A and B are shown apart, each in its own frame.
Chain A
Amino acid sequence: MSDHARSEALQSQYLTVNLAHEEYGVDILAVREIRGWTPVTRIPQSPHYVLGVLNLRGAIVPVIDLRLRFGLSREAYDATTVTVIITVNGRQFGVVVDAVSDVIDVASDALRPVPDMGTTVDTEYLKGLTSIGDRMVLLLDADKLLQPQDAQMLEAALNAANDVKAVA
């Protein structure tokens, strides 16, 4: 009983998505919803991987293309292309992937560090990898995808520039 409870506590669930023949895992607690691909409104002055924004029930949510984010070529969007809406640190954003595939349980001791090479992806967006049967799943670090740190720093700088010291 207690053994069972402990293994439960150490496990986390990941939603796996397909991208350029690789399988990636996103922490399921960060996933808000999965929706089919719909066109978005482009935002000027944005990195190329930010496709634009969409209307998520009244909230304006940026959408990034994971292929472009990882420096891969962009495929045409088809019926299986989906937008996964992720919430990190109170911010929502959408991630466009080729398809969603599965929900997997990963015990924390099954998490392996990412070797420095051998994947098509820059390792800084990964927090580890694991194997399910003979499949390898790369686990994404959702925090880093939109680089909210950058966004916040930029915002802080802008605010500082515009911040007007209150009239004494």
Chain B
Amino acid sequence: MSTISVAQFHKVFFEESLEGLDAMEAALLALDEGGDAELVHSIFRAAHSIKGGAATFGFPEMAAFTHEAESLLDQVRDGRRSIDKTIVELMLRTVDCLRGMFDRAQAGQPLADADSENLKQQLAAAVGHDVPAATVKAAAKPAASNGWIIQFRPHAGMLAGGNDPLRLLRELAALGQLVVEAQLDRVPTLDALDPTECHLGWRIELTGAVSRDAIAAVFEWVEDECDLSIEPRVAVAPPSAPVVEAVAAPAGAGVTAGVTRNTTSSNDAGSVRVGIDKIDSLIDLVGELVITQAMLDQFREEFDPARLSMLQEGLAHLARHTRTLQESVMGIRMLPIGSVFNRFPRLVRDLSQKLGKQVKLEMVGEHTELDKTVLEKIGDPLVHLVRNAIDHGLEMPEKRRAAGKSDVGTLRLEAFHRGGSIVVEIVDDGAGLNREAIIAKALQKGLIKSGDDISDEAVGDLIFQPGFSTAAVTTDLSGRGVGMDVVRRNVVDLGGNVAIKSRAGMGTTFTITLPLTLAIIDGLSAAVGDECYIVPLVSIVESIQLPADAVRSVTGGGELFRFRGEYLPIVRLHQQFGCANARQNIEDGLVIVVEADGSQVGLYVDELIGQQQAVVKSLEANYRRVEGISGATILADGSVALIIDIAGLIRLQGRRKAA
């Protein structure tokens, strides 16, 4: 009697189904703009696999729900029904609803809810609507076969007769799918409660082709001891306020079911799908490495100076293969940014409909690859920028016409490589930043003083200030409570930066620059006393040697030096980190001008050792986060060097000075 548990396949099923839903959504949106039959086929296929999978893996509610959607699609596919806006809308909602079901399935919660039931009825109604055989009567009738609503109110003394409501509900559950809602209004306060009496009532929705008599038979023994009504369910179930809702829950669980099980998804490790070609190239490389190793191995036995050139060649091979291997392994973590872009057609469609704007979305460079970690974290900032662009940037059609622009606003998302970075641009051809309103707001907030000469860049920079809500400047879509400062911080956390360029009446461009990967950084290793630290290359502006008289001491112990017309503070690394045996005189060491969060400081170190690529290792995995340190790396000699977090170091210095 051994059974194979299907639970182990759930994860794969969820993953594949969610991908299927993405594909469905994309195809639906394409259909919305006028597509061909092939799109309908692909939507149908996706729905069909989800239905099949759901039935196999024990999610009957999901299978039943998808079945209705599939029936509707089947009619479209057979040409019995033409695709129109309402169907696309209905199917998009179906996709959303299924996503919700998958979320609940992953959390181990009941799948069906009022929304899904509601939508299912609508789908069923849509399917029935056009079938020729379905007479006019059928529209009113389907409810009869579709289920019943049972109001079951036991009298207080029912339990005394040995009748257990739980048993009744179980019997009902055997007839079809149940949605049971406990009615608690008659439950007295605790001091007045007589535990031998029944105070609960139930509203039961029974789905399935069940005759009235079958239901009545269940209640046969308690007819005289309860108030009972059995009514056919109307096509659209009214989503009555769910006081306590439990799907097919036994009566006793009625109250506790109200406590939602907040099972956090424990299997959060995540997985990556890797193209077979990437794996093949890895295998090739490892093969090459083995050959090189065998070649070098010959020298272990005996070393003949005459073969020195062979050794050199072997070592060169080894270096090359190692580097390529490293790049290939990193490549496994790289995923196309298209997976993030995919969500925007839907977002833009919904948002523009809601706001009454016309928006054309252009997406370029979806195949640009980014590190998975970066990819996962860039989604939210991008969504925010896109929403902002549609909400604040693009104007209403009338206004656009008045400005001599086409009614349809253009929003362009573009990703491309530049140097060692990935650049993502969000370009709209809207009104641009409202310079006056922003300056007024900044004055009010005390961020700038009146009379200051504010450049366009500075205006752009203002909107990134914390607490600088644009709500008063332009309309706000909803109380999202997240500002541009969060967007900036998210991007900076990823080691990137955001820039804004705006021209009044012409539009706004946000440029996000991101590192290719977080796993490897280019850095300069610097010696401080007996220790070695890595300074990330991206934050380095310049390194200079200062004569002693170039440094001004200011009150409070700070030191300043002049760099390109500005005075920058000096951060002595040996003081911040407490390094022993470090050089003390400014002219003996080096000052590295570094930049983070828009501010520059001079980092005083003993000397630079050299440039190197550093594989970033976490300190937190075994220890904890250390301020001013972003991670660690392993040097060529096997020892550990710490990587400096410039922004953190500047904060640290600020705090130390304040203290």
| Closest beta carbon of chain B to A73's beta carbon, Å | 19
The answer on a CB contact under 8 Å between B531 and A53 is no
Bound complex: CA A37 to CA B93 (Å): 64
Bound complex: CA A41 to CA B632 (Å): 10
Q: Name B residues whose Cβ lies closer than 8 Å to a Cβ of A.
A: 380-381, 383-384, 387, 478, 480-482, 486-487, 489-490, 493, 531, 576-579, 617-629, 632, 634, 638-642
The answer on a CB contact under 8 Å between B623 and A167 is no
Complex interface: chain B residues within 8 A of A39 (CB): 639
The answer on a CB contact under 8 Å between B490 and A164 is yes
10 contacts between A and B (CB under 8 A): A41-B531, A42-B531, A45-B627, A53-B632, A60-B623, A62-B623, A155-B620, A158-B625, A166-B380, A168-B482
Complex interface: chain B residues within 8 A of A46 (CB): 626
The answer on a CB contact under 8 Å between A155 and B622 is no
Render A46-71 as a binary contact track against B, CB cut-off 8 A, 1 for contact.
Answer: 10001011110011111000000000
The answer on a CB contact under 8 Å between A60 and B618 is yes
Total A-B residue contacts, Cβ distance less than 8 Å: 93
| Closest beta carbon of chain A to B647's beta carbon, Å | 11
Complex interface: chain B residues within 8 A of A14 (CB): none
- Once A166-B380, A168-B482 are accepted as A-B contacts, the answer to whether A59 and B489 lie under 8 Å apart by CB is no
Q: Is A162 an interface residue (CB 8 A)?
A: yes
| Closest beta carbon of chain A to B437's beta carbon, Å | 22
In the complex, which residues 130-168 of chain A have their Cβ closer than 8 Å to any Cβ of chain B? Answer: 146, 151, 154-155, 158, 162, 164-168
Complex interface: chain B residues within 8 A of A154 (CB): 624-625
The answer on a CB contact under 8 Å between B480 and A168 is yes
Minimum-distance CB pairs A-B, first 4 = A44-B577, A167-B384, A41-B640, A151-B624
Which of A53, A55, A151, A166 touches B638 (beta carbons < 8 Å)? A55
| Closest beta carbon of chain B to A77's beta carbon, Å | 16
Q: Is A20 an interface residue (CB 8 A)?
A: no
| Closest beta carbon of chain B to A61's beta carbon, Å | 5
Q: Is A40 an interface residue (CB 8 A)?
A: yes
Complex interface: chain A residues within 8 A of B578 (CB): 44
The answer on a CB contact under 8 Å between B577 and A60 is no
Closest chain B residue to A61 by CB distance? B622
Bound complex: CA A107 to CA B531 (Å): 47
Bound complex: CA A42 to CA B478 (Å): 49
Complex interface: chain B residues within 8 A of A58 (CB): 617, 634
Q: Is A18 an interface residue (CB 8 A)?
A: no
The answer on a CB contact under 8 Å between A60 and B622 is yes
The answer on a CB contact under 8 Å between B628 and A45 is yes
Bound complex: CA A40 to CA B640 (Å): 8
| Closest beta carbon of chain B to A47's beta carbon, Å | 11
Complex interface: chain A residues within 8 A of B577 (CB): 44-45
Complex interface: chain B residues within 8 A of A166 (CB): 380
Bound complex: CA A71 to CA B578 (Å): 21
Bound complex: CA A43 to CA B489 (Å): 26
Q: Is A93 an interface residue (CB 8 A)?
A: yes
Bound complex: CA A59 to CA B481 (Å): 40
Bound complex: CA A50 to CA B619 (Å): 13
- Once A55-B638, A167-B482, A168-B480 are accepted as A-B contacts, the answer to whether A45 and B626 lie under 8 Å apart by CB is yes
The answer on a CB contact under 8 Å between B642 and A41 is yes
The answer on a CB contact under 8 Å between A60 and B632 is yes
Render A18-34 as a binary contact track against B, CB cut-off 8 A, 1 for contact.
Answer: 00000000000000000
Bound complex: CA A61 to CA B644 (Å): 18
Bound complex: CA A93 to CA B481 (Å): 41
The answer on a CB contact under 8 Å between A164 and B642 is no
The answer on a CB contact under 8 Å between B383 and A167 is yes
Q: Is A112 an interface residue (CB 8 A)?
A: no
Complex interface: chain A residues within 8 A of B623 (CB): 43, 50, 53, 60, 62, 91, 93, 146, 151
Bound complex: CA A162 to CA B627 (Å): 13
Q: Is A92 an interface residue (CB 8 A)?
A: yes
- Once A45-B628, A164-B486 are accepted as A-B contacts, the answer to whether A59 and B621 lie under 8 Å apart by CB is yes
A39, A91, A167 pick with most chain B CB within 10 angstroms: A167
Complex interface: chain A residues within 8 A of B481 (CB): 165, 168
- Once A59-B622, A60-B622 are accepted as A-B contacts, the answer to whether A43 and B480 lie under 8 Å apart by CB is no
| Closest beta carbon of chain B to A151's beta carbon, Å | 4
The answer on a CB contact under 8 Å between A167 and B480 is yes
The answer on a CB contact under 8 Å between A155 and B617 is no
Complex interface: chain A residues within 8 A of B620 (CB): 155
The answer on a CB contact under 8 Å between B624 and A155 is yes
Complex interface: chain B residues within 8 A of A40 (CB): 640
| Closest beta carbon of chain A to B631's beta carbon, Å | 8
Bound complex: CA A166 to CA B618 (Å): 24
- Once A44-B577, A60-B619, A60-B640 are accepted as A-B contacts, the answer to whether A55 and B629 lie under 8 Å apart by CB is no
Complex interface: chain A residues within 8 A of B531 (CB): 41-42
Bound complex: CA A166 to CA B489 (Å): 12
Bound complex: CA A107 to CA B490 (Å): 54
Closest chain B residue to A46 by CB distance? B626
| Closest beta carbon of chain B to A71's beta carbon, Å | 21
Given A45-B627, A91-B621, 9 additional A-B pairs, CB 8 A: A41-B531, A42-B579, A43-B623, A44-B577, A54-B640, A91-B623, A158-B625, A166-B380, A167-B487
The answer on a CB contact under 8 Å between A91 and B640 is no
Bound complex: CA A95 to CA B618 (Å): 20
Which of B380, B618, B634, B638 touches A167 (beta carbons < 8 Å)? B380
Closest chain A residue to B532 by CB distance? A41
| Closest beta carbon of chain A to B632's beta carbon, Å | 5
Complex interface: chain A residues within 8 A of B490 (CB): 164
Which of A41, A53, A155 touches B625 (beta carbons < 8 Å)? A155
| Closest beta carbon of chain B to A148's beta carbon, Å | 9
The answer on a CB contact under 8 Å between B482 and A92 is no
Bound complex: CA A42 to CA B531 (Å): 8
Complex interface: chain A residues within 8 A of B622 (CB): 59-62, 91-93
Complex interface: chain A residues within 8 A of B624 (CB): 151, 154-155
Closest chain A residue to B576 by CB distance? A44
Complex interface: chain B residues within 8 A of A93 (CB): 622-623
Complex interface: chain A residues within 8 A of B384 (CB): 167
Bound complex: CA A44 to CA B620 (Å): 14
Closest chain A residue to B388 by CB distance? A167
| Closest beta carbon of chain B to A69's beta carbon, Å | 15
Which of A44, A55, A61, A91 touches B639 (beta carbons < 8 Å)? A55
Complex interface: chain B residues within 8 A of A45 (CB): 577, 626-629
